[in-house]
A and B are shown apart, each in its own frame.
Chain A
Amino acid sequence: MCLAYPGKVIAIEGDFAKVDFGEGTIRDGVNVSLVQPQNGDYVLVHAGYAIQIVNQSAALKTLRYWREILAALPADRASYEREVRGGLT
């Protein structure tokens, strides 16, 4: 039971926040009493409650790392099969 989605807190009123999950999906009434975020924080939301604040610097570091990995991959499928998969059985 690990379904949780990251979204950005765009408004807070007491225990509840309006969270923007991107691509037009905005949800009101997300309970944030377990995490106490600030406006602009990203939170992980599970069954209507925010369970953790996303650590932005760790997230940005992770995204940079992923971009490096993906950039280092061969550009086309054939090269990928040869250079990456070729070494594996």
Chain B
Amino acid sequence: MHVCGSHEWTITHFGIRTLLPSNVEVRAGPGCPVCVTPAADIDSVTDLSLHGKTILTYGDMSKAKGSELSLFEAKARGGDVQVVYSVHDAVEIAQANPQREFVFFAVGFETTAPPTAYEILKGPPRNLTFLVSYRYVPPAVGAVATSPDLQVDGFINAGHAATITGMKAYEPYFMKTPKPMVFAGFEPIDILISITMLLKQIAAHDPKMENEYTRAVTWEGNIRAQEAMDKVFERVDGYWRGVATIPESGFRIRKEFTSSDARLKYGLKETPGDEQFIPQARCGDVILGKIDPPECPLYMKTCTPASPKGPTMVSMEGTCKIWADHKVLAAMRCRT
């Protein structure tokens, strides 16, 4: 199993599964941050956008629906929503418009959290606050490793997230449940080599934490980025939409930076932690990697990229969207 939408993209785009022997299956685990962002948080920002605040968001995130609307739809109804490429753009826009109130929708994994921490440390403009909904991947890998439903034999670990945390962040989970782990890059040949390394560990009954992505991943990771995150955020339980609440996998802005916290400024609701998708949709099972998209009754029937019914079909890192864009219509399970 891998836990990264970008890995799923490489694997599907280059037809990696068609090259594998029939007794090897690569599953897409919970690696799409837009997909796992709670509907309650999306509802908070759509609501704010319709009540005079300007929401600054990544493009992908703007298309995911909360319990009713997406930010994109809120904008169509007169909500104030602006797409930005980076948190730095958000700071510049807020600085240039001191008379308006802005909220940056801070969504992503630990690859995306450090720049936001850095901007908060620098002292952002007073009219900009942050709705932090980041998720932290190592505990999710730990949760998947112990899941009896999934029975994963090895992990292709997210290479770019690991450039930030270092391999060391996965050690506690590896020690608790030793399963083969290879930290992989994003070229197709990186994936093939990583799968080979995993198969060697499995065949030798010798689980290890190995690094295929040596040009970018180290044991220690990016210390500067880690320090920025530690200073600004504390880790709390995180609800992964439609999946589960995973301990220590969410981020909250620390008390010292209260003035940057949109949750406090606007008294936003916390998520109840048991969100549903539309009837019959199996987004949660796809996100976790329990099923392949074609095993959802809506896939490519009522739910298509042009008419998405859930976040996995909206986000460019969602398994359903990736498979649909590449016209993959059959599940890719082990045949032996």
Contacts and interface: CB of A to CB of B under 8 A. Distances in A.
Given A3-B6, A34-B225, A51 B336 contact: no
Interface string B98-112: 000000000011011
Interface string B159-200: 111011000000000000000000000100100010000000
B85 A35 contact: no
Contacts of A1: 4-6, 31-33, 108-109, 111-112, 161, 317
B114 interface: yes
Among B32, B115, B224, residue most surrounded by chain A Cβ atoms (within 10 Å): B115
Contacts of A89: 21-22, 336
Interface stretch (B86-94, B240-248, B263-271, B303-311): B86-94
A47 to B, nearest CB: 5
Given A1-B31, A44-B160, A52-B160, 11 more contacts: A1-B4, A1-B317, A2-B5, A2-B109, A2-B158, A2-B161, A3-B6, A4-B163, A35-B222, A36-B224, A48-B87
20 contacts: A1-B111, A2-B109, A2-B160, A4-B163, A31-B86, A31-B88, A34-B114, A47-B87, A47-B115, A48-B85, A48-B87, A49-B114, A49-B115, A49-B118, A51-B111, A51-B164, A51-B222, A54-B216, A58-B214, A69-B189
Interface of B: 4-7, 21-22, 31-33, 58, 85-89, 108-109, 111-112, 114-115, 118, 158-161, 163-164, 186, 189, 193, 214-216, 218, 222, 224-225, 228, 317, 336
